Amino acid sequence: MRAEWQLARNLALSSSRRQRWRQVSLLLGTFLAVLVTLSGMSWLGVSQRADSIVHTRAPQWPQPGEEATAMVFGSGIILDGLSQIPLIYIEPLPGGGREALPPGLDRWPEPGEAVISPGVRRQGLTAESFGFLSSDAGSGAGGDIGDEALVSRSEGFLYVRSTEPLPVDDPEAAAFPVAGFGGDNPAFIETEPDVPALRAALGYSIWMVLVPSLFLTASSARAVSHLVDDRATSMWRLGI
């Protein structure tokens, strides 16, 4: 074992040009495999955070005997550069104070006001572009929706408070009562987030990141220089 280790060390540190190909392929292949693997892991982290945000901002159905704190109505609009984005109408009910606020807001907007996300503002749009008044009720920069409610900074998202109160106890109305946001009994109101779900990202990472990385690492490790070929042939002829 000591002789084999010494031989491997001499080959790895050899200054011969005939050995250069193996040295370069090992270093470059390992570097690329680690880089690709780390990018896949970071993508999984982003997707995990996105799933967490989607659950955090989801309205919660009231449990039996639990009092509703707000009325919610969800819809979607299509914008150039943002695809379809959620537009969430919110209306506090009596007893629904600050603790009932959706994530991303510091206070309830006034009737007729809308709070937009930074992604919407980046497209050159304001609340007035949708027929509402601007509000600075958000917890983000400039009163926009805060990061705790957004899958990404580029995501399009709007919270709107209608000029007319959303109907309560009307089975034909699209609005429904909720007992806050985030929990174990969600009523998802989503369109198409910027970031894929964790399950989809996991499948992508396995087949598009992990498998190619393993193949690249194995191929680099098996790279053989002419010097190693010649030495192997000589040892075979000697019966070693």
Of 110, 142, 149, which is closest to residue 126 (Cα–Cα)?
Answer: 142
14 class by beta-carbon count within 10 Å (0-12 exposed, 13-18 middle, 19+ buried) = middle
Task: Specify the pLDDT at position 172.
Answer: 47
Query: Residues 6 or more apart from 168 whose CB is under 8 A from it?
Result: 71, 93, 175, 177
**pLDDT tens-digit series, residues 151-176:** 888 888 899 988 876 655 554 456 78
Going by their DSSP bridges, the two strands 133-134 and 113-116 should be labelled as parallel
Show the CA angle centred on residue 26, arms to residues 13 and 4, nearest 5°: 50
Beta bridge partners of 90: 72
| Greatest mean pLDDT among 23-32, 123-132, 177-186, 198-207 | 123-132
Beta bridge partners of 87: 75, 158
**177 φ/ψ angles, rounded to the nearest 5 degrees:** -80, 145
**pLDDT tens-digit series, residues 15-54:** 656 666 666 777 777 788 888 787 777 777 777 787 788 8
The Cα–Cα gap between 78 and 73 comes to 17
Task: Specify the pLDDT at position 114.
Answer: 92
The Cα–Cα gap between 153 and 65 comes to 38
Task: Specify the pLDDT at position 51.
Answer: 79
**pLDDT tens-digit series, residues 193-232:** 666 666 777 777 777 777 878 777 777 766 665 656 666 6
Sole residue written with tokens 């034909």: 172
Of 81, 98, 102, 79, which is closest to residue 90 (Cα–Cα)?
Answer: 102
Quick one: DSSP state of residue 184?
Answer: S
**pLDDT tens-digit series, residues 50-103:** 778 888 888 888 888 778 888 888 777 777 766 778 888 888 887 667 778 888
